[in-house]
């Protein structure tokens, strides 16, 4: 599946850039570049606690940069798998201006 070039509106652009502004979240996305991982495996791979990985995944998910799904293991317990959403973000002054054209005034 080819990377989808994002054409976000102002709120989506701010959300995506805020999600990408964390070195830990970038490490999580880098780890997911090789394919989906279950959360415990991801936590070990990036050297973070599972609760912290869950918090970072929530932020990445809100920005549409990762997806997750629960699968039932043979032993009967649920395993949450996480995958990076293929994307490309092309930023130029013009694409930023277009995205921010509808951004609410006074919003930080």
Task: Provide the whole-model pTM.
Answer: 0.84
Name the one residue in this structure whose structure tokens are 């850039």.
17
CA distance 3 to 107: 30
pLDDT in tens, 75-101: 888 999 999 999 888 889 998 998 888
Digit-coded pLDDT (tens) for 61-74: 999 999 999 998 88
How does the average pLDDT of the chain come out, rounded? 90
Q: 15 near 108, Cβ under 8 Å?
A: no
For residue 41, give both structure tokens.
Answer: 């495996």
Q: Which domains does the chain show, CATH number per domain?
A: 8-91 (1.10.10.10)
pLDDT tens across 19-66, in order?
999 999 999 999 999 999 999 999 999 999 999 999 999 999 999 999
Question: Under a CB-based contact definition with an 8 Å cutoff, are residues 55 and 66 in contact?
Answer: no
Tokens for 38?
Answer: 């279950």
């Amino acid at each position: 599946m080819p990377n989808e070039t994002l054409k976000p509106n102002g709120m989506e652009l701010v959300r995506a850039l805020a999600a990408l502004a964390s070195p830990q979240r970038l490490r999580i996305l880098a780890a997911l570049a090789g394919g989906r991982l279950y959360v415990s495996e991801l936590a070990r791979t990036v050297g973070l606690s599972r609760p912290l990985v869950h918090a970072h995944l929530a932020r990445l998910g809100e920005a549409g940069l990762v997806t997750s799904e629960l699968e039932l293991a043979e032993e009967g317990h649920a395993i949450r798998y996480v995958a990076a959403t293929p994307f490309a973000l092309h930023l130029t002054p013009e694409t930023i201006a277009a995205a921010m054209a509808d951004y609410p005034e006074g919003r930080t």
